[in-house]
Structure 1
């Protein structure tokens, strides 16, 4: 495996992380996971735009365009000859003695490397169950930061309960998103999902779903759903870079629709395959 560290390509055996890297000591950094299909990046421009947004919001002095990151990622893809998978990429504030204020002289540290990812075919065909968990994360979920501890905790809670994913809520009147996915309800032919604000991450697959809805004439409505409204949905699904579009048939004890994968979810899955 070939990795990218800053502007250098190295073998995995050569990879080292300084113990004073602020990504390690503070989670002081941002990241992206970029899907690869048929030997090419999927929606790379959107990932790089979101990466730059996250960098700007946390004040890390790294410019994606001037660093020619797109070219570096293309070289990384070619050196690893990946046909189907993903690239994990993170940029930290850099290496500095452990003090809370931003260091004045540290240089951002870039790491990128391939990770194995494959489409969850069974779940896409049969649908999945979710479990509701209170959303106790910070209020800047629009930043794709390295601070994922609570996401990890609630994902494990889902696993322990036999669910595929945790569905988070701030209050009974405010469903947000999954621990590593965006959530969508379908009612009366309309796709309903949380507005892209600070309470959720605006997923790249969420953007893809919005594009597909537009192309197929399916209304896409940004709306905060309540816990009680879940029982009234005709269909539901989650979407993410690694899961793509996965229908939801049950949330805890609430059966969604008739408990089977719905027609609109199938249309969106087909549209996603066309997009890639």
Structure 2
């Protein structure tokens, strides 16, 4: 009898270090550096009806993060792309909405802080999991958030498996009975617990600059494309807490939440306390791009 994992139905096929096998049989050593040190990188590729969405950009970010921690790629890029399709082909979700999760760690070695010398073989794990698009109620009513200090490390641009700071931030939202947090470092906007935050003033879409304090979500580039197509100005610059509070609109983006409005912050309404016109235009443009994948079937 295999172990029951909360939130996982059945015993899906996953990939681990060269093998496709049932999730219940996928195990790694307790000396894996991902387990001991959080020494690893992960990536999530959303999939709509069997079609990976912006996979190139996701794998580009995976490569950037690996390079920043001096971790070798576990396989050539073309093989990693094929792995995504091979997993989808083996999944019951291949024709539905899903996401492909990939994680690379520095591998199994004696517990010691320096990188192993000589280097050991990286651990590569990947699986397909379902995701549900935001409901119409969430899209039309919007989300609530609280502001919290950003207490994470100074390399948030690396998509590291060391996510304790993000976990604690999300738990703060849960305890406050809201949907998300908006984090500030020294009075300047960074991001949510696992999403990028967007501020709208006078019809212009603003976000913090791409630097070590913010994970560059794949929707950074995607929203830039959508803004250009919609004739909306798009600006990356430092954003103060005051600018966030006085925003005409607030939005968040992530791979699985797509783009959503934030209508309340710290129990106060943002502008009129309802989704605004810029969000509505970007939401429709986002939907159009996603639905185009289905029309290509």
TM range (shorter): over 0.9
Candidates 97, 101, 115, aligned match of 1:102: 115
Distance (whole Å) between structure 1 residues aligned to residue 259 and residue 134 of structure 2: 9
Deviations 1:72-114 (A, max 9, x none): 1110111104221111110000000100000023111100112
Which stretch of structure 1 is more off in the superposition, 78-87 or 243-252?
78-87
Which stretch of structure 1 is more off in the superposition, 56-65 or 210-219?
56-65
Distance (whole Å) between structure 2 residues aligned to residue 18 and residue 200 of structure 1: 32
User: 2:50 maps to what in 1?
Assistant: 39
Q: Where do 1:47-196 residues align within 5 Å?
A: 47-62=58-73, 65-66=76-77, 68-82=79-93, 83-103=96-116, 104-121=118-135, 122-172=137-187, 174-196=188-210
Q: Which runs of 5+ in 1 are unaligned?
A: none
Q: TM-score, normalized by length of structure 1?
A: 0.96
Distance verdict in 2 for CA 1:44–1:67, change over 3 Å = closer
Q: TM-score, normalized by length of structure 2?
A: 0.90
Distance (whole Å) between structure 2 residues aligned to residue 87 and residue 165 of structure 1: 23
Q: Where do 1:191-202 residues align within 5 Å?
A: 191-202=205-216
* Preserved CA contact (<8 Å) 1:195 1:222: yes
**Number of equivalences:** 275
Q: CA deviation at 1:47?
A: 0.5
Q: Which runs of 5+ in 2 are unaligned?
A: 1-11, 291-297
Q: Where do 1:234-249 residues align within 5 Å?
A: 234-249=248-263
Task: Provide the alpha-carbon RMSD of the alignment.
Answer: 1.2
Distance (whole Å) between structure 1 residues aligned to residue 271 and residue 131 of structure 2: 30
1:270 aligns with 2:289: no
The 3-state SS of whatever aligns with 1:96 is coil
Distance verdict in 2 for CA 1:63–1:210, change over 3 Å = farther
* Preserved CA contact (<8 Å) 1:128 1:248: yes
Distance (whole Å) between structure 1 residues aligned to residue 35 and residue 74 of structure 2: 22
